[in-house]
Amino acid sequence: MVTRFAPSPTGRLHLGHAFAAKVAFNFAKAQNFSCLLRIEDIDHTRCTNEYTLEIYRDLDWLGFDWPLPVKIQSKHYYDYAKIIKNLCNLGLAYECPLTRGNIRDGLLPKNKGTNINGYLDHFKEGNSKPIIPNSIRLDLKKSMQYLKDQELTFIETSSGEEKKINSKIALMDAVEKKKLDPIIARKDIGVSYHIAVTHDDCYQDITHVVRGHDLYESTHIHVLIQKISNWPTPKYHHHPVLNNKYGDKLSKRGLDTSIRSLRNNGLTAHQVLDMATL
Ligand code: GLU
Q: Does 220 sit in the ligand 1 pocket, CB within 6 Å?
A: no
What is the structure's pLDDT at 103?
87
Backbone angles phi, psi at 161, to 5 degrees: -120, 160
What is the structure's pLDDT at 245?
61
Average pLDDT of the residues in 200-216 = 97
| Smallest CA separation from ligand 1 atom 5, residue | 6
> Ligand 1 centroid to 198 CA: how many Å?
11
Does residue 250 surpass a pLDDT of 70? no
**Helix residue ranges per DSSP H, 6-114:** 15-31, 49-62, 77-89, 100-104
d(CA 209, CA 206): 7
What is the structure's pLDDT at 32?
97
Task: Please give the DSSP secondary-structure letter assigned to residue 213.
Answer: G
Give me the chain's average pLDDT, please: 93
> Ligand 1 centroid to 21 CA: how many Å?
11
What is the structure's pLDDT at 115?
77
State the pTM of this model: 0.94
What is the structure's pLDDT at 116?
82
Grade residue 150 by pLDDT with cuts at 50, 70 and 90.
very high
Q: Does 241 sit in the ligand 1 pocket, CB within 6 Å?
A: no
At how many degrees (to 10) do helices 77-89 and 216-229 cross?
A: 70
**CATH code of the domain made up of 1-74+243-278:** 3.40.50.620
Average pLDDT of the residues in 217-234 = 98
Closest ligand 1 atom to 218 CA: 9
Are the CB atoms for 259 and 13 separated by under 8 Å? yes
> Ligand 1 centroid to 183 CA: how many Å?
16
What is the structure's pLDDT at 78?
95
Task: Please give the DSSP secondary-structure letter assigned to residue 266.
Answer: T
Q: Does 3 sit in the ligand 1 pocket, CB within 6 Å?
A: no
Select from 204, 205, 185, 195 the least CA-distant residue to 225: 195
What is the structure's pLDDT at 246?
64
Average pLDDT of the residues in 34-59 = 98
Closest ligand 1 atom to 214 CA: 10
Closest ligand 1 atom to 17 CA: 4
Grade residue 41 by pLDDT with cuts at 50, 70 and 90.
very high
Select from 84, 92, 87 the least CA-distant residue to 120: 84
Grade residue 254 by pLDDT with cuts at 50, 70 and 90.
low
Residue 142 φ/ψ region, left for φ over 0, alpha for ψ in the -120 to 50 degree band, beta for the rest: alpha
Does residue 13 surpass a pLDDT of 70? yes
Handedness of CA 196, 197, 198, 199 (dihedral sign): positive
What is the structure's pLDDT at 10?
95
Pocket test for ligand 1, best of 12, 25, 40 (most atoms within 8 A of CB): 40
What is the structure's pLDDT at 257?
79
Q: How many residues does the chain have?
A: 278
What is the structure's pLDDT at 190?
96
Does residue 213 surpass a pLDDT of 90? yes
What is the structure's pLDDT at 110?
86
* Matching fold, domains 1-74+243-278 and 76-234: yes
**CATH fold of the domain at 76-234:** Rossmann fold (3.40.50)
Average pLDDT of the residues in 158-172 = 97
For the chain, what are the domain ranges?
A: 1-74+243-278, 76-234
What is the structure's pLDDT at 125?
75
